[in-house]
Amino acid sequence: MFSTIFRALLVAVCVSQTGLVFGQYIIAHRGASHDAPENTLAAFRLAWERGADGVEGDFYLTSDGHIVCIHDRETKRVATENYIVAETTFEKLRTLDVGSWKDPKWKGEKIPSIEEVLALVPKGKKIFIELKIGPEIVEPLEKALKASNLSPEQIVIISFDAAAIEACEKRMPHLRSHWLAGYKEQEDGSWKPTASEVTQTVNRIGADGLGSHANLEFFDKDFLKKYRATGVDEFHVWTVNKPTVAKHYQQLGAWSITTDRPGWLRKQLAKPLATK
């Protein structure tokens, strides 16, 4: 409790004296994916070299029960051959080159297993594990995490699938979890989901916070006021590659900011805000 109060006071001082909020975690989106092929060991290694506080990766189950790191349900965007991940064995997926599409220098990069990704996380750094499917991935995920050398403080589980997050909270309540929300503008000009709907979902499934699309049109100060009204406070934003957007959410108290360019964005955030 004391540490929470102290952190809040420190944030307030930083805001009032400098116009900036320091302390947000900078999370590398699919690794340092601006410069390296997304969701590969090369991208994660580069993220650590660039000083990221954490990495974010996307995870599916293969047909034979392995957890692999890839964003799409099929491989056609990042490989020359197309396979549906859930219908393909781990061994078959490992034959694919998922680096050359980015640049020939990345030729030979493979789809990594979750065990390989976890093994690269340095002490004191974080990994955001995005579950791309439902609760069926939770049990094998729990086994992989138990077998790793990571501490609970290093792990954040995120997903758009509310049932998957709820299952994680039941099986692994000691780990931090965030439910992810993107927003769509309706024909009448309103946006969905609303702040109330987001808060209800986060509370219902027992998530520790919200992972939000950085939508300046909707996810703003008023939204966060409603979101925090029921006692839920923690949120992070994705995917932020513009310094002005990052600073906006930094000032609003984002717990973390996910970006394709972790090293570059950190340098931008260290610069003072322009004065009128």
* Alpha-carbon span 169 to 63, nearest angstrom: 25
* Residue in 59, 119, 120, 121 with CA at minimum distance from that of residue 90: 59
> Is 71 one of the annotated active-site residues of the chain?
yes
From 29, 34, 66, 178, active-site residue? 29
From 66, 71, 178, 213, active-site residue? 71
Tokens read off for 210: 């919200």
Dump the DSSP string for the chain: -HHHHHHHHHHHHHHHHHS-----EEEEETTTTTTS-TTSHHHHHHHHHTT-SEEEEEEEE-TTS-EEE-SSSBSTTTSSS--BGGGS-HHHHTTS--STTT-GGGTT--PPBHHHHHHTPPTT-EEEEEE-S-GGGHHHHHHHHHHSS--GGGEEEEES-HHHHHHHHHH-TTSEEEEEE--EE-TTS-EES-HHHHHHHHHHHT-SEEEEE--TTTSSHHHHHHHHTTT---EEEE----HHHHHHHHHTT-SEEEES-HHHHHHHHHSPPPP-
Alpha carbon distances (Å) from 221 to 211, 217, 226, 237, 248: 15, 11, 9, 13, 10
> Is 213 one of the annotated active-site residues of the chain?
no
Please give the positions annotated as active site.
29, 71
